[in-house]
Amino acid sequence: MDSFRNILTQPRIAALALIPGSTRIAVLAGAEFLAFDSSGGDFSGNEFPSAPRWQGGAGLLWEYGGMGPYVQVDANYVDASFRRADNDPEQTSDAYTLINGRAGWRFRHFELYVIGRNLADRFYLTQRAFGTFMAGEPRTLIGGVEFHLD
């Protein structure tokens, strides 16, 4: 009971943090074929399949001291991309943005939380293996307990 009383009475500072991030993949990885001539055609200069030009994300985290409540929300953007090496405009995966969140309460040796992925239940395609596309994860809610052994 004393440890719970300490959690409620110790001085705390509420904090809000912005977590930005972005990547221009085509520049960083040179995501195009330099020389690719095959029986299917010459794909030199075409963009790689399933290599979006832009990806990025940003989030907000609010927490009340080291222990206590917290809420985090983030958005992740993935640009449109071609599905095939021939860069057929009829065969593209649409751009999408996913909104995710996590809320919980931290105690000294454990944490209770709930996580939400794809909160807007956005339909999107993701590539799992070369040439095989699958629907991305639908809205998913997860609850848990995390123990800290320190």
Q: What is the tens place of the pLDDT at every residue in 56-68?
A: 888 888 888 778 9
Do residues 55 and 28 touch, judged by C-beta distance below 8 A?
no
Number of domains in the chain: 1
pLDDT digits 0-9 by tens, 10-51: 555 667 677 777 665 544 455 666 666 666 677 777 877 777
pLDDT reported for residue 5:
46
CA distance 96 to 79: 7
Total-model pTM: 0.72
Structural domain range at position 62: 2-147
Identify the DSSP state of 8. Answer: H
Q: What is the pLDDT of residues 65-94, one digit of tens each?
A: 778 999 999 999 988 888 777 888 888 888
Kindly state the DSSP code that residue 95 receives in the 8-state scheme: P
- Residue of 18, 111, 19 lying closest to 68 (CA atoms): 111
121 or 17, greater pLDDT: 121
